[in-house]
Amino acid sequence: MDLPAAIRSEKHSGSLPARIAIVTDAWHPQVNGVVRTLSTTAAHLRNRGCDVTILSPDGHRSIPCPTYPEIRLAITLPGATGRALASLAPDAIHIATEGPLGLAARAHCVRRNIPFTTAYHTQFPDYLARRTNLPASMFWPFIRWFHRPSQAIMVATPTIRRELRDQGLGHLHHWSRGVDLECFSPDAPPPPEYAELPGPILLYVGRVAVEKNIEAFLGMDFPGSKVVVGDGPALGSLQARYPEAHFLGRRSGRELAGCYAGADVFVFPSRTDTFGLVMIESLACGTPVAAFPVAGPADIIEDAVGALSEDLRRAAAAALLCDRADCAAFGARYSWSAATDQFVSGLSLLDRAALP
């Protein structure tokens, strides 16, 4: 893996576990904020000398996730995940997701009284409510049950912290996100598709899926051009319903940065994200953000770099007035090195001698 110089040169002060096991049901080839966060954090940890093992659906039989076949759910034999963890003998175990592998790892740790940490990456009850048409309240008991034995639940924003605390989960730890500033910058060249588009260019980047509420963006009555970058199960239906929009497919690295940098406003219509990594990537490229005043945007966006409103059209119009230099300076505050420090400080180190 060819790490950016900002990661290669990183120095870490403070204690660092020699071996960390991260259990996640979300992993490559999926493209989303959870995968980017975990893979980047693992890269920083390895650069600091830590032995990081990712227990993911790789190497397992899997089945497609209902309503979202691009996500594969791992099928494991009883006890297989626990045996894998035992053989690794990690100094810390972090369970990142509430899927089959996360459940198996949780069961292993609870049965053996092994401390572990978890993370709340997705507004899981709202996500499931959008996909099942059932009330989100039906899914909160599972969230409480899953995370309650954790030594620390890592959360990205104050709003999510308050929401989980209201649900009776008090052992919370702040873990923010970062931006690769060598890649995401205002000087990234825009894609050639932008050349003929009438302005202003309004951009969405992310999974093209029902829980992202992209219809709220594409249905806006707003001059200029609407661009969608990403892929997902709702792509075909949205292309058919909104033929005037421009769907560029999946982009990454410097090409993705150019999509941000060449746009006039980044529109973030999701109501179910706990953070929204794409927002700080956009800001680092100098592009202001328009969003709903919900968890994620409400914790990140300030008046100087974007606008929040229940009227997304009004938010986009206000964001157009923001100074792009202010946006870039704001986005540059987010460091993956600092975020990795937060992750490490939240881990619960295992007392190997006390383990059964």
Digit-coded pLDDT (tens) for 167-213: 999 999 999 999 999 999 999 999 999 999 999 999 999 999 998 99
Interhelix angle 100-111/80-88, nearest 10 degrees: 70
Position 260, amino acid: Y
Please state the pTM of the whole predicted model: 0.86
Tokens representing 231? 């892929």
Predicted pLDDT of residue 144:
97
pLDDT of 5 above 50: no
pLDDT tens readout for residues 124-137: 788 778 778 899 89
Quick one: average pLDDT of 236-255?
A: 97
pLDDT tens readout for residues 15-60: 799 999 999 999 988 888 899 999 999 999 999 999 999 999 987 7
Tokens representing 332? 């540059």
Pairing of strands 201-205, 225-229: parallel
pLDDT tens readout for residues 282-298: 999 999 999 999 999 99
Fold that domain 192-331 belongs to in CATH: Rossmann fold (3.40.50)
The segment(s) of the chain belonging to CATH 3.40.50.2000 are 5-178+336-354, 192-331
Fold that domain 5-178+336-354 belongs to in CATH: Rossmann fold (3.40.50)
Question: Do 160 and 298 contact (CB within 8 A), yes or no?
Answer: no
pLDDT of 352 above 90: no
Pairing of strands 68-75, 61-65: antiparallel
